[in-house]
């Protein structure tokens, strides 16, 4: 086993452990506050700081990763998640909405430090001429992360039933603490540390490719969350009459399947010059929410249209997301890679924040169909923006890289 593969396994293991706690914590908060009588929209608002601080963290975190090394930013992310979990292991009287929002803000910072470090670290482990291997490694990391986030949803429900809210967060904090201690010794020192000390003004990317891809990413993820975060769960509960476990179980299963498609995306897309793939797959994706909205307005069976459309949307969105995740790592500079990756995922977090706010507001005012039309428009914008990406040589199929 080469040193690069050993480091890849450490990075992936850290990312997996963090993702399990991240998914489980989200489901714990959703279920616990649902039991306390909070509405779905009120529960969604608990996560606003989680998304907002993701924007800030990615922007500043990329700079810190270049100056301090990615091993340090990844380990800081793990530690902050432990602190966030510990904050929730307090008596019920202390567990107020502002306190939970603060813990979620800390968890959001931790998550994006961890993700930025993991994605940036892979760039440094694969030679630049082996783009097929890079695509494969990024796809595996990205897809497995989302699969495990879905598993984390199930884990959160199981832990809540078995140990209660306080017991669940304590168990997760202890388990993640062991991972953090191992990471301190196993993760390579100064991984990703820039040879030239970057200046703070360099956090704003000057590369056209990075800027265009980041803008496309923002619209892509806004398009998902504008109907997925708040509108869809509330719609399933009110229109379909599904109970909380059915909604949570279906969405967890969707995320697991979505993650699986991400891992095999290189086999689906095959050879791609990046630009044409990003344009074509986004254009195809835009047709799905538009088709669902049109079918609902035409009076077709809501359950068949929404569930079937969501499954198709998940497949195409996973391919788009995996291709984008590869492109940012490929376009990023070698020295100070985290500056570019951090800037890109800042846009990703901004898209999620935009989608989360729009999801609650638009659904409450105009319903699911309006959310879907906005989703289609946002994806179409991402496709048009991708036309401005620079041309690249074809990427080798993952199996050949």
Distances (CA, A) of 372 to 15, 64, 229, 309, 314: 32, 38, 12, 11, 14
**Which residues have C-beta within 8 Å of that of residue 316, sequence separation ≥ 6?**
281, 284, 285, 288
User: Which of these, 100, 81, 96, lies nearest to 14 by C-alpha position?
Assistant: 81
Separation CA 364–CA 232 (nearest Å): 12
What average pLDDT does range 132-149 have in this prediction?
A: 76
- pLDDT of 306 higher than 90: yes
Q: Which two tokens stand for residue 46?
A: 């608990």
Per DSSP, what are the bridge partners of residue 272? Answer: 395
Which value, in Å, is the radius of gyration of the alpha carbons in the chain? 20
Selected residue with higher pLDDT from 359 and 282: 282
Q: What is the pLDDT of residue 272?
A: 55
Share of the chain above pLDDT 90, in %: 26
Q: Which domain holds residue 348?
A: 3-400
Distances (CA, A) of 39 to 3, 32, 397: 50, 12, 46
Q: What is the pLDDT of residue 37?
A: 77
- CA 204, 229, 318, 381 torsion-angle sign: negative
pTM of the complete model beyond 0.75: yes
Burial of 155: CB neighbours in 10 Å, binned 0-12, 13-18, 19+: buried
Contact between 125 and 346 (Cβ < 8 Å): no
Average pLDDT value for the chain: 81
Which 3 state secondary structure label does DSSP give 15? Answer: helix
Contact between 384 and 223 (Cβ < 8 Å): no
What average pLDDT does range 309-335 have in this prediction?
A: 85
For the chain, what is the domain count?
Answer: 1
Q: What is the pLDDT of residue 6?
A: 75
Question: For residue 246, what pLDDT band results from cuts at 50, 70 and 90?
Answer: confident
Q: Which two tokens stand for residue 108?
A: 């959001």
Selected residue with higher pLDDT from 281 and 115: 281
Which of 192-206, 208-222, 347-361, 383-397 tops mean pLDDT?
A: 208-222
Q: What is the pLDDT of residue 150?
A: 79
Q: Which two tokens stand for residue 3?
A: 């040193």
Query: 109-123, 247-261, 307-321, 360-374: which has the minimum mean pLDDT?
Result: 109-123
DSSP state of 203: G
Q: What is the pLDDT of residue 221?
A: 94
Q: What is the pLDDT of residue 307?
A: 94
- pLDDT of 21 higher than 80: yes
Residue in the structure block whose two tokens are 């897309």: 269
Separation CA 155–CA 250 (nearest Å): 14
Distances (CA, A) of 381 to 37, 374, 384, 386: 38, 11, 5, 9
The helix or strand, by DSSP H or E, that contains position 147, with its residue range, turns out to be: helix 131-186
CATH of the domain at 241: 1.20.1250.20
Separation CA 352–CA 221 (nearest Å): 6
What average pLDDT does range 74-81 have in this prediction?
A: 89
- pLDDT of 271 higher than 70: no
Question: For residue 392, what pLDDT band results from cuts at 50, 70 and 90?
Answer: low
What average pLDDT does range 239-268 have in this prediction?
A: 83
Q: What is the pLDDT of residue 49?
A: 82
- pLDDT of 134 higher than 60: yes
Separation CA 173–CA 112 (nearest Å): 18
**Which residues have C-beta within 8 Å of that of residue 263, sequence separation ≥ 6?**
139, 140, 142, 143, 144, 147, 322
- pLDDT of 303 higher than 50: yes
Residue range 173-208, pLDDT digits in tens: 999 999 999 888 887 666 555 555 656 555 565 678
């Amino acid at each position: 086993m080469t040193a690069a593969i050993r480091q890849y396994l450490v990075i992936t293991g850290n990312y997996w452990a963090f993702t399990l706690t991240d998914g489980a914590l989200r489901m714990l908060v959703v279920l616990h506050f649902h039991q306390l009588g909070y509405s779905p929209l009120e529960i969604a608002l608990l996560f606003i700081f989680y998304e907002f601080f993701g924007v800030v963290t990615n922007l500043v975190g990329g700079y810190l990763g270049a100056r301090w090394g990615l091993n340090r930013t990844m380990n800081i992310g793990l530690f902050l998640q432990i602190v966030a979990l510990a904050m929730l292991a307090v008596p019920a009287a202390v567990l107020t909405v502002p306190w939970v929002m603060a813990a979620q803000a800390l968890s959001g910072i931790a998550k994006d430090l961890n993700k930025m470090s993991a994605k940036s670290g892979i760039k440094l482990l694969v030679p630049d001429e082996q783009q097929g291997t890079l695509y494969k490694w990024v796809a595996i990391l990205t897809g497995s992360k989302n699969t495990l986030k879905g598993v984390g949803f199930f884990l959160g429900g199981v832990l809540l039933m078995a140990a209660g809210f306080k017991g669940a967060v304590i168990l997760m904090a202890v388990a993640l603490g062991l991972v953090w201690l191992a990471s301190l010794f196993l993760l390579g020192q100064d991984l990703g540390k820039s040879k030239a000390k970057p200046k703070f003004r360099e956090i704003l990317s000057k590369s056209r490719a990075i800027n265009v891809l980041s803008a496309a990413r923002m619209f892509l993820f806004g398009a998902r969350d504008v109907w997925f975060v708040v509108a869809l769960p509330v719609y399933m509960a009110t229109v379909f009459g599904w109970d909380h476990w059915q909604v949570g179980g279906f969405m967890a299963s969707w995320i697991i399947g979505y993650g699986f498609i991400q891992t095999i995306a290189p086999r689906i897309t095959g050879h791609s010059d990046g630009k044409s793939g990003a344009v074509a797959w986004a254009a195809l994706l835009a047709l799905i929410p538009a088709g669902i909205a049109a079918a609902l307005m035409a009076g077709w069976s809501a359950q068949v249209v929404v569930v079937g459309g969501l499954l198709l949307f998940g497949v195409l969105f996973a391919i788009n997301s995996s291709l984008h995740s590869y492109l940012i790592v490929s376009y990023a500079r070698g020295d100070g890679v985290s500056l570019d990756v951090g800037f890109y995922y800042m846009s990703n977090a901004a898209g999620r924040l935009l989608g989360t706010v729009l999801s609650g507001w638009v659904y409450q005012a105009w319903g699911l169909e309006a959310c879907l039309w906005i989703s289609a428009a946002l994806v179409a914008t991402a496709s048009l923006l991708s036309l401005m990406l620079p041309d690249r040589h074809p990427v080798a199929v993952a199996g050949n890289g």
